[in-house]
């Protein structure tokens, strides 16, 4: 908080007057401009919600919420219309779950390695490498999934479809390892050394200290990193569009083709469906669902972080 400003230098008689009363016009204008820029961020959120809501409400005027949530088929573009979000949502979660299976253990163990085992120099090499992994565009991961992972999978499991969920899961998992690892590592390093030293003093091994003292102490941050990683996996678009398929399919078999919510949005927009039709509105209904799911997960991760954080002075 800036202190009460003294007056401008060319007003020597008003040294004791408060900032507010003696703001020049220029200062006021600048303040307003800056506020507007900050408020622009709120405008963006309002925009997203308004845009999605408008068409979604139109969608739900035609399609009941019950059908949307319970119908197991998604066929909005054909003559026989079904509007069940389940195949798309399950597709998204199937990919995200597979990604979590990879990223959660690998990310956490990587974080423990960086925080508890690795020396400064090793960390100085590994952290940038992880940052590079995080910075690779998702379309590259899609390429990798289609041209490397899928053929590999098919040689091991010949019944795998050309477009399948597992390929996408694997690359999305690799993609979010850095997210999980760096957020977990931040949480682990925030645990005070005193806790560790106390445990060592009692004769614990490094393994015991890491798993029974440090991780539990940093649990809120670690779990928050998992939730954020999964949220990113659900929102991922290009890798799944390229590798996972365009077949709304209510299945838990990762070797089959599926369609995720994000891939459907891409497919619907490529076809350039006309305004005002129910097909056009499905794009927004699915977008709204996606937005709400990721929003809930992000808010949840922040809540976990704040609510369960152990306070150390």
Smallest separation, CB 36 to other proteins (Å): 8
Q: Which is nearer to other proteins, 52 or 95 (CB)?
A: 52
Residue ranges of the alpha helices (H) in the chain?
25-62, 65-70, 86-112, 120-135, 138-144, 150-156, 165-189, 193-201, 206-209, 215-217, 219-235, 238-243, 261-270, 278-307
Residue 56 interacts with other proteins (CB under 8 A): yes or no? no
Contact 218, 188 (CB under 8 A): yes
Residue 183 interacts with other proteins (CB under 8 A): yes or no? no
- Stretch touching other proteins by CB under 8 A, among 59-67, 93-101, 218-226, 261-269: 261-269
- Stretch touching other proteins by CB under 8 A, among 57-65, 93-101, 159-167, 215-223: 159-167
Sign of CA dihedral 264, 269, 273, 279: positive
Window 238-257: contact mask with other proteins (x via CB under 8 A):
x--xx--xxxxx-------x
Q: How far is CA 98 from CA 9, 90, 91, 111, 228, in A?
A: 64, 12, 11, 20, 15
Window 206-245: contact mask with other proteins (x via CB under 8 A):
xxxxxx----------------x--xx-xxxxx--xx--x
Distance, CA of 255 to CA of 213 (rounded, Å) = 39
- Stretch touching other proteins by CB under 8 A, among 28-36, 56-64, 93-101, 215-223: 28-36
Can you give the C-alpha Rg of the chain in angstroms? 25
Smallest separation, CB 292 to other proteins (Å): 10
Dihedral-angle region of residue 167 (phi above 0 means left; psi in -120 to 50 means alpha; beta otherwise) = alpha
Residue 184 interacts with other proteins (CB under 8 A): yes or no? no
Residues between 286 and 305 that touch other proteins (CB under 8 A)? 287, 290-291, 294-295, 298-299, 302
Q: Which is nearer to other proteins, 97 or 175 (CB)?
A: 175
């Amino acid at each position: 908080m800036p202190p009460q400003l003294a007056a401008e230098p060319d007003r020597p008689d008003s040294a004791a007057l408060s900032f507010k009363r003696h703001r020049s016009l220029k200062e006021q204008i600048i303040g307003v401009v800056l506020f507007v820029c900050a408020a622009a961020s709120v405008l963006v959120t309002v925009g997203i919600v308004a845009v999605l809501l408008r068409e979604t409400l139109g969608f739900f005027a035609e399609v009941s919420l019950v059908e949307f949530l319970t119908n197991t088929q998604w066929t909005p573009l054909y003559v026989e219309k079904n509007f069940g979000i389940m195949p798309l949502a399950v597709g998204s979660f199937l990919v995200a779950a597979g990604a979590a299976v990879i990223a959660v253990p690998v990310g956490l163990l990587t974080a423990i390695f960086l925080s508890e085992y690795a020396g400064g120099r090793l960390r100085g090499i590994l952290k940038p490498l992880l940052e590079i992994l995080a910075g690779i565009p998702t379309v590259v991961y899609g390429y990798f999934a289609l041209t490397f992972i899928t053929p590999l999978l098919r040689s091991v499991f010949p019944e795998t479809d050309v477009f399948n969920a597992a390929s996408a899961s694997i690359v999305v998992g690799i993609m979010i390892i850095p997210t999980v690892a760096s957020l977990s590592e931040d949480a682990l390093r925030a645990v005070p050394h005193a806790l560790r030293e106390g445990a060592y003093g009692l004769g614990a091994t490094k393994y015991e200290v890491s798993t029974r003292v440090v991780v539990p102490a940093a649990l809120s941050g670690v779990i928050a990193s998992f939730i954020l990683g999964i949220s990113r996996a659900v929102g991922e678009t290009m890798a799944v569009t390229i590798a996972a398929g365009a077949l709304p399919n209510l299945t838990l078999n990762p070797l089959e083709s599926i369609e995720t919510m994000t891939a459907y949005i891409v497919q619907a927009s490529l076809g350039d469906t006309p305004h005002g039709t129910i097909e056009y509105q499905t794009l927004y209904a699915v977008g709204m669902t996606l937005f709400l799911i990721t929003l809930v997960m992000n808010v949840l991760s922040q809540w976990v972080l704040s609510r369960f954080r152990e306070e150390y002075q």
